[in-house]
Amino acid sequence: MFWLGFQARETDANMDDQARALRELMCLQSVAPASGSLARPKLIIAVSGARGGVGATTVAVNLAVVLARRGLRTALVDADPYSGDIALRCGVQEHCTLADVLSGRRSVREALQGGPGSVLVLPGAWAQEDIAQASSAAQQQFVEQLQGLGDEANCVVVDTGSSPGRLARRLWLAADQVVLVSSAEVASIMGAYGLAKALAAGNKQIVLGLVVNMVADVDQALRVHGRLARACFRFLGLSLGMLGYVPLGEQGGGEGPCQLLVLSQPESAAAQQIQRLADALAAPAK
């Protein structure tokens, strides 16, 4: 009798597991785009920080605002698993977040909210586990939804954070341009190389470019780029372009509030460099 009871409990547990898997699949299918029916954005940009504190989020937010002001319908997506605070920094209420999308409760379209400078914002997940524990199918479905946002946004900027996780790799592979943000500090340069090695090594389709943040001048930025570009080409077989730099001064790092310099201080050196970066990236999309 004990054995029969154990078998029954085991069968019930298996049925529960199957039911949960079926519900997850149905949720994913309910928000899945119809094949071939949705337009792809003209430009998908993944912005990644070499490490925490280099100002990648500041670059991503300001870049998105400039792209919107250049006439591109722009969505800003917070996919940073460790510091998903774009909504807070931009004054957007977190009615729906990336966690809702990954769980299948909402589609990307349903989760987008109005943000600064006419940018549509998808707030980040509330906890690391919301991304880390999401299934590969859920992460891939999320990426595919971004690739089908062309009717709402012809440009998508994604802040992937600085973690070499599965979702970041999927976003790098899906992007038309990966913007790697580093400072001139040795630890940051090493972090940038490590991130490139983890997410892009051996993959020739990834278009990787560098923005050097918080530097004294263009010469220092070029030295950082030269060092990283040589290492990436020699040891990883990757070409690392030089996209631009942001001078040390007004913009600050990644730990303080995100300042929309392109709106509050458009004539500052930092804002002007971000505007040049946006113009260079937007050219193929127009």
Tokens found for residue 47: 């912005």
DSSP string, 41-75: PSEEEEEEESSTTS-HHHHHHHHHHHHHHTT--EE
Look at residue 169 and tell me whether its pLDDT is greater than 60.
Answer: yes
pLDDT band at 156 (very low <50, low <70, confident <90, very high): very high
The percent of residues above 90 in pLDDT, for the chain, comes to 69
User: Would you state the structure tokens that stand for residue 71, as one six-digit string?
Assistant: 């006439």
Of 32-41, 52-61, 149-158, which gets the smallest average pLDDT? 32-41
> Which of the four pLDDT bands, split at 50, 70 and 90, describes residue 7?
very low
Give the pLDDT confidence score for residue 128 in this predicted structure.
Answer: 73
pLDDT band at 250 (very low <50, low <70, confident <90, very high): low
Q: Is the pLDDT of residue 31 over 70?
A: no
pLDDT digits (tens, 9 = 90+) for 173-226: 999 999 999 999 999 999 999 999 999 988 888 999 999 999 999 999 999 999
The answer to whether residues 278 and 63 touch, using CB atoms and an 8 Å cutoff, is yes
Contacts of 238 (CB under 8 A, 6+ apart): 196, 200, 201, 206, 208, 232
pLDDT of 255 reads 39
Q: Please report the pLDDT score of residue 4 as a whole number.
A: 37
At 74-105, the pLDDT tens digits run 999 999 988 888 998 888 888 899 999 999 99
pLDDT of 246: 95
Report the half-sphere exposure of 93 (CA within 13 A, side-chain side).
Answer: 1
| Max mean pLDDT range (20-34, 122-136, 162-176, 248-262) | 162-176
| pLDDT exceeds cutoff 90 at 248 | no
Per-residue pLDDT, 284: 72
For the segment 238-261, the average pLDDT, to the nearest whole number, is 73
Q: Could you tell me the pTM of the whole model?
A: 0.84
pLDDT-wise least confident of 25-39, 50-64, 138-152 = 25-39
- How much is the pLDDT for 126? 74
Residue 201 to residue 117: CA distance in whole angstroms: 36
